Structure 1
């Protein structure tokens, strides 16, 4: 794929075996506590959502700058936006596409690769606690 100028799209520049993925670590929905962490390279053809969640949990527990994010039990991985796609109007989380874009949550563990699930280079993923998401979705009130 390429854009109108003939240049390849950034989502197609890197191979699926060496993709760049941004993980949005969400500590609090109401207070909009989010920290982006860029992972590269990620082998989308072999990595499952469960493996990626475990990898990011390890990063959170071993990286000094992520110390404030250690007190949440992250159990859910959801696509926030794909490269060159439209973003959600909500800056903290994408409420749409729960059936298709939630890749892992309690009671749902998909044993397929990230590539098979539609993740490509430069996809943004959200990592959060499912119960917090359900509560915020029911009452999306932001606090300051």
Structure 2
């Protein structure tokens, strides 16, 4: 259907340690709000088999577009630190208005972690 998309959500547990897991969602309505999608993802990952508990219980609160189908990929290992004003999904927008389309990849992370990492973007091993 035209209103449904495949969206990959990259659960970012740690920017420094490049600790993330991609989770694919099929049949995502692009006309739902960002808040509704965040709730759907949180509810899904809480019970999704095969996801380690640290990823399930984490306090994710922010989504940002990483990559769109047929677009250029970033060289950043976890996600780009640029264009937050354009790429961070805003509450109250629909996914479509926010720029999410079929085969878009979004990062789901804690805004506080991202702010700390952005202030000092080092990776640890």
TM-score range, shorter chain: over 0.9
Q: Which residue of 1 aligns with 2:120?
A: 139
Structure 1: how far apart are the matches of 2:39 and 2:110?
Answer: 14
- Structure 2, unaligned runs of 5 or more: none
Give the greater-gyration-radius structure (CA): 1
Alpha-carbon distance, 1:55 to partner: 0.9
**Residues 69-91 of structure 1: CA deviation (Å, up to 9, x unaligned):** 13421000110111111111111
Name 1:96's counterpart in structure 2: 82
> How many aligned residue pairs are there?
124
One of 47, 57, 81 as aligned partner of 1:62: 47
Between stretches 20-29 and 111-120, larger displacement belongs to 111-120
The runs of at least 4 consecutive aligned structure 1 residues that moved more than 4 Å come to none
Distance 2:106 2:13 in 1: 14
The equivalent residue for 1:114 is 95
Q: Distance in 1 between matches of 2:17 and 2:42?
A: 21
Partner of 1:80: 66
Normalised by the size of structure 2, how large is the TM-score?
A: 0.93
Q: CA deviation at 1:117?
A: 1.6
